[in-house]
Structure 1
Amino acid sequence: MPAASEHALDPASSAAPLPVPADAPGEGAALFHERVLAGPGFWIAAVGVGAALGLILIPLHLTVAIVVGVVSILALLVLVVMYSPVVEVADGWFRLGRARIEVQHLGEPTALSGEVWARTIGQDFEPLAHHCVRGWTTTGMRVEVLDDDDPATAWVASTRRPDDLVLALRTAQRLQARSQD
């Protein structure tokens, strides 16, 4: 991956910005929004564990067991949703879970899948990059951070729609550059 100083010399980045379509989303509209929800296995496990907690209490009292089982199932389902990060591009910001960065500080995003994605989160893991990776996804995106004051070298995100996220980031960067002109 090129360093921030090398990125500025990249001929593709020095080309004139592409025109933004007239029907592009306006201010306040999200260009991309995804909650990276867990796969079916996590949902089944949450229901199973909650039901098991209720079953344990049957010898004590049936009503208490049913209430504890239902409450446990609901609480675990809520936890599965809360653990699923939101990936969003809106208003010139890229939000990844609770973290966010202005798109003007980002380089060229890259969609990753298959073995490239596995290598990015495995043997080529970048310790200084900001990661929001979930094991239940097999695709993701990487974008270099160009801000010299930011200690993170890149952002690596799990997403089920990496091409859409890359397109949204590029569009947000063009919109940002156009608004600064």
Structure 2
Amino acid sequence: MQSYEERLTAPRSWWVIAALVGVACALMLLPVGTLPMLGGLIGGTALSAVAVSAYGSARIRVVGGALIAGDARIPASALGEARALDAEEALAWRTHKADARAFMLLRSYVPTAVRVEITDPDDPTPYAYLSTRRPESLVAALTAVRA
């Protein structure tokens, strides 16, 4: 059985923005004094870095006969066909083709995705849309776990 693991980390530019938020906080507190300015720099940078890190901590795993995507755990018995989506198809499935009942693990900075049918009759979720940088590898792992 093939396993798969991916962390949807935030791009480097987001970390630069986090540092700039700290600089902006420091500049806002500059008129108050040097220590508040340093506190603003450290605090603003730390808070924005925590936010970027938390958003980029989403993981997709295929392990132990299940798909684990973010907080969702879907057993292999409930998985249907998995399809890799290129950037254009992924955009369509997260906009005008999207179903409000679908489970979506979206990351705007990841252009490709995988769409996995959910076949459990007791689950109203029609499919799972998963942003991934390696759609073919994820599809191969899902196909292997279903077999």
Query: What TM-score does the superposition give when structure 1 sets the normalisation length?
Result: 0.75
- Unmatched runs of 5 consecutive residues or more in structure 1: 1-23, 26-30, 175-181
Identify the structure with bigger relative contact order (alpha carbons < 8 Å, sequence gap 6+). Answer: 2
Match of residue 170, structure 1, among 136, 143, 146? 143
More off after superposition, 134-143 vs 117-126 = 117-126
Q: Secondary structure at the match of 1:41?
A: helix
Q: Are the aligned partners of 2:103 and 2:127 in contact in 1 as well (CA < 8 Å)? A: yes
Question: Is residue 26 of structure 2 the alignment partner of residue 54 of structure 1?
Answer: yes
Q: Which amino acid aligns with 2:67?
A: F
Count of residues in correspondence between the two structures: 146
Match of residue 116, structure 1, among 80, 89, 92? 89
Q: Are the aligned partners of 2:87 and 2:113 in contact in 1 as well (CA < 8 Å)? A: no
Q: Which amino acid aligns with 1:64?
A: P
Q: Which amino acid aligns with 1:121?
A: R
Structural RMSD (CA): 1.4
Match of residue 66, structure 1, among 38, 52, 58? 38
Q: Which amino acid aligns with 2:144?
A: T
- Unmatched runs of 5 consecutive residues or more in structure 2: none
**Aligned equivalents of 2:82 and 2:145: distance in 1?**
12
Which protein is bigger by CA-based radius of gyration? Answer: 1
Task: Kindly report which structure 2 residues correspond to 1:25-36, keeping only aligned pairs within 5 A, or say none.
Answer: 31-36=3-8
**Aligned equivalents of 1:65 and 1:59: distance in 2?**
8
Deviation at 1:71, TM superposition (A): 2.4
Report the counterpart of residue 61 of structure 2 in structure 1: 88
Q: Secondary structure at the match of 2:123?
A: coil
Fraction of identical pairs, as percent = 31
Q: Which amino acid aligns with 1:50?
A: G
Question: Is residue 31 of structure 2 the alignment partner of residue 75 of structure 1?
Answer: no
Report the counterpart of residue 3 of structure 1 in structure 2: none
Report the counterpart of residue 4 of structure 1 in structure 2: none
